[in-house]
Structure 1
């Protein structure tokens, strides 16, 4: 052994869920130790930094937006289904305003600048937007739509703007041990989790720790876009760990697993969700299911392991919403204004991952003119309009050139003139096709650096909704073991919209941290009494 460490609450994984768990446990009075295989941040720093929140946040009020807990709940009830109970979803919605305030108190910046257009992600002038399908057919009738995507204020993708202040707060209130990998849980005879066995580079040469740190950063980004590079870098990471890492035992009253999902575990993806093997892994190499496997080794049950969110965004440019998304038979696929994960799921599950977006001359002109987009969005639009499309002077001609059934496409164009739209697309996005040339833009899901389809896993360990404790196959809590974020089943485990995963990381991380910290405090009180 390299040593033995004792702590009150041990958090395994240092992304958004881990940071929030650590802060709540520390605020409850617990001694907290946080472990991470790398330096922290995980998939959170790679994300857009969107937190789904509503019910009347300060940012919504600043933007002149009216929203209510009931409206937020009614919309999410349709998206979430029965993956969590009515009580849990209501608690999430009722605590939404306070959640944003809590994040702000810990330094996360938000702003109520409302994006005027429907988009997958706003440009650098806007930090509040419609991040889901709130205004799409079927949803707007059930609940008053409102923009609830709260983007942490920062240029580009804002994941770092969200995580950096949280991490700074954690380091002030808890101990963080990076470059440490948990190998197994320690359980007592009665099944109580009492700690972990880990391997750490804390005593490795400085050059080895620095190289490990740099390789971890590179494998996260740009490695996320170049799988072959990521794999090569990770082999060097593993070699360093095998050579220099030393075993350490950590005793704890509670262990909280917040080690992310398993999108980087190709074997698990082939087993649980084989149709989702061709997307961009939205996460780091640490999203390998290790946290879930630790929970299972202690008897924890899992659910939703086949649920994967795959994003095929059609916007920006917002002009693309006027197009018609069709399959090989020329048939309409979905309301084009739906959130990208709904589009991706529809294409993958029912159309073999293939799809084309029909545009006319006006829509292409408007698409080229749109500004206020992120640089990568502009490059994707240029790619789609140059290399990703075919042109034709008639509907039949463009269909033949794309390999789409001409008769089916012609019927779809005629049907789209009906009022209301057959797929329920809002009138604001409906476009009557006019002048040629016509375009069919290939938006099929395939490995592509120019037009990737980001994917993340949504299933994980089953937890008690009041505490975050991991449950076994009989629904009984495993003493001393908690899970949060994408290591656990949560609010977004059935259907994902932008910001819902990070919001659930905050919600479930705080829940687990608070319960474990309060439990330890009560135990200390009882021991002092006797």
Structure 2
């Protein structure tokens, strides 16, 4: 195409979160001039995440904590989790590069630590930064792949994702990456051959509107984490500013454009189309995770894959004592090992049990969990559990009465609890493979049923991210068409692309994929002829 350009660079990166920052750094380190655009102020979903990177094969932190791991053991485990989302060659390369990618992050100022969490948790406290972040020690995984802790949490208080994105942002800028914040890409531009040569975008003008846009987006992001209906009240004012107070700019990308603008968890229409079972979940990230990057790729012929896959995290632990209860559906039947990682629990709950789940336990188990609360939780985990303990539950003097109050099938629930108690008292093998130390009879009333269903609940959300995206050539990250041919000049990374974690998710795998796919796309775009 012809026309006036406002800016020319070698590589244009759309989205400056985890994947986008990695792509930008890798591109500039390979000799390219780089401009990164972000609808808000950068960081994306990674900045408000727990900052977990799934890494193994013998990292320095694993070794310092006294754990042996190998590429083969990591590969064998991830084969079970990823279920063919990428080729075996790509998965092996991901595992082989794992140690180097973690060291690469550290070289850009992202801090990690080797303090190991001695108990199973969904997210460790500020005392621990290495842990089993998936299903490694849970059957059938532990029986097929040698376990090792591979969840590497960025060192920092609270949810430490911000510590990752801030350091990557600073490193990128030091290297000469230019960043346009509060800038949304509206169209990809192509030449007569179909090659992507740039993008058109809208940038919020300097002044009061720009300040308001920044403040509103910050509060919107925070509110969305805990109760989306509140955060949603700020969506329209943010969009109104973007529509009324923005200027149009056109950027030429001589080597290529990298799409790294996140998933589509905040796009209800796309969820209804691709993953309708998850519409009641609580999206995590920013409202920039609206599928815009994926739609940009589709607009020039890009194909998509695994758009139906969503990861909803139904965590019941910490405190660890909670897993001694039983998770049942409305029919009163157990459907999972309660020690399973929250994404696996959520997957079965949503896709096999209509999004409903109830954790049933007794006073003795609850008392133990309450004692663990101060030492095993961070403030946000403690807040969620306090909501459950104080109000978000049903209480009764018998299992039959509890079933009636919670609207669970009474006869089936009584049979489920009776069978569970029999195994607990006999020291037998749990039918779902839960370790014997966590199988405890539920026989000391009163009894409780905690609603763990998918729907948004104030104080106890079920966070979710989308996993599918644009199909890419696995060697380069180039976006591909339905027929498998590549679209010249267009790359995708992170949750804009179908990748390592697009079939199944464990903590840290998405960010690790952002690093892997972001670096791949940035390197390929920088060196493209």
TM-score (norm 1): 0.95
Is 1:50 the counterpart of 2:52 in the alignment? Answer: yes
Say whether 1:194 aligns with 2:203: no
Q: CA deviation at 1:163?
A: 0.7
| Contact 1:50–1:149, Cα closer than 8 Å, also in 2 | yes
- 1:269 aligned onto 2:276: no
Count of residue pairs brought into register by the alignment: 518
Structure 1 pair 241/2, CA: closer, same or farther in 2 (3 Å)?
Answer: farther
* Separation of aligned partners in 1, 2:230 and 2:366: 35
Structure 1 residue 229: Cα displacement: 4.1
- Corresponding residue for residue 489 of structure 2: 480
SS in 2 for 1:222: helix
Match of 1:140, SS state, is: helix
SS at match of 2:359: strand
Note if 1:29 corresponds to 2:31: yes
Change (3 A) 1:337 1:16: same
* Counterpart residue number, 2:356: 354
Contact 1:2 1:248 in 2 (8 A): no
Secondary structure of 2:143's partner?
coil
Q: Where does residue 446 of structure 2 map in the other structure?
A: 437
1:386-410, Cα deviation, whole Å (9 max, x unpaired)? 3233333333333333322332123
Check the 8 A contact 1:133/1:339 in 2, yes or no.
Answer: yes
Instruction: Give the secondary-structure state (helix, strand or coil) at the position aligned to 1:111.
Output: coil
How far does residue 420 in structure 1 lie from its aligned partner after superposition? 1.7
Q: What is the match of residue 85 of structure 2?
A: 83
Whole-Å separation in 2 of the counterparts to 1:231 and 1:369:
36
Alignment of 1:290-301 (within 5 A): 290-301=292-303
Corresponding residue of 2:223: 222
1:506 counterpart residue number: 515
2:459: which partner in 1? Answer: 450
Match of 1:412 in 2: 416
Inter-partner Cα distance in structure 2 for 1:382 and 1:212: 34
The match for 2:121 is 119
What is the CA distance between 1:458 and its match in structure 2? 0.5
Q: Report matched runs for 1:55-454 at 5 Å.
A: 55-173=57-175, 174-201=177-204, 204-252=205-253, 253-370=255-372, 371-372=374-375, 373-416=377-420, 417-418=422-423, 419-454=428-463
On the 8 A contact 1:2/1:246 being kept in 2, the answer is no
- Give the Cα separation in 2 of the matches to 1:300 and 1:186: 14
- 1:457/1:33 Cα in 2 relative to 1: closer, same or farther (>3 Å)? same
- State the secondary structure of the residue aligned to 1:196: strand
- Aligned pairs for 1:489-500 (under 5 A) are 489-500=498-509
Question: What is the CA-CA distance between 1:238 and the residue it aligns to?
Answer: 2.2
SS in 1 for 2:25: helix
Q: Does the 8 Å contact 1:266/1:277 carry over to 2?
A: yes
- Change in CA separation of 1:358 and 1:238 when aligned onto 2, cut-off 3 Å: closer
- Measured after TM superposition, the shift of residue 385 of structure 1 is 2.2
What is the distance in 2 between the residues matched to 1:385 and 1:242?
44
Structure 2 residue ranges without an equivalent (≥5): none
Offset of residue 3 of structure 1: 5.5
Q: In the TM superposition, what is the alpha-carbon distance from 1:331 to its structure 2 partner?
A: 1.1
Distance 2:484 2:121 in 1: 41
Contact 1:135 1:426 in 2 (8 A): no
**Cα deviation 1:204-239 (Å, max 9, x = unaligned):** 242222222112212211244343443332322222
Looking at structure 2, the residues matched to 471 and 369 of structure 1 have their Cα atoms a distance apart, in angstroms, of 53
Cα deviation for residue 489 of structure 1 reads: 0.2
C-alpha contact (below 8 Å) 1:310/1:456 kept by paired residues: yes
Structure 2 partner of 1:528: none
CA contact (8 A) 1:137 1:426 kept: no
CA distance in 1, matches of 2:233, 2:410: 45
Q: Is the 8 A contact 1:13 1:34 kept in 2?
A: yes
| DSSP 3-state at the match of 1:450 | coil
TM-score, normalised with respect to structure 2: 0.95
383-392 or 314-323: bigger deviation: 383-392
Distance 2:439 2:96 in 1: 35
More moved, 500-509 vs 431-440: 431-440
CA distance in 1, matches of 2:322, 2:261: 37
What do residues 161-197 of structure 1 show as CA deviations (whole Å, max 9, x unaligned)?
Answer: 1111000011112111111111111111111111111
Greater mean alpha carbon deviation, residues 35-44 or residues 411-420: 411-420
1:434 Cα deviation after fit: 4.2
User: Matched residues in 2 for 1:480 and 1:176: separation?
Assistant: 20
Cα deviation, 1:272-303, whole Å, max 9, x if unaligned, reads 11111111111111111110011001100001
Of 464, 475, 483, the residue aligned with 1:466 is 475
Contact 2:135 2:341 in 1 (8 A): yes
Structure-2 change in CA distance of 1:179 and 1:389 (3 Å)? closer
- Superposed CA deviations along residues 35-94 of structure 1, whole A, max 9, x for unmatched, are 111110111111111111111111111211222111111111111011100001111111
Q: Distance in 2 between matches of 1:458 and 1:258?
A: 13
1:2, distance to aligned residue in structure 2 (A): 9.0
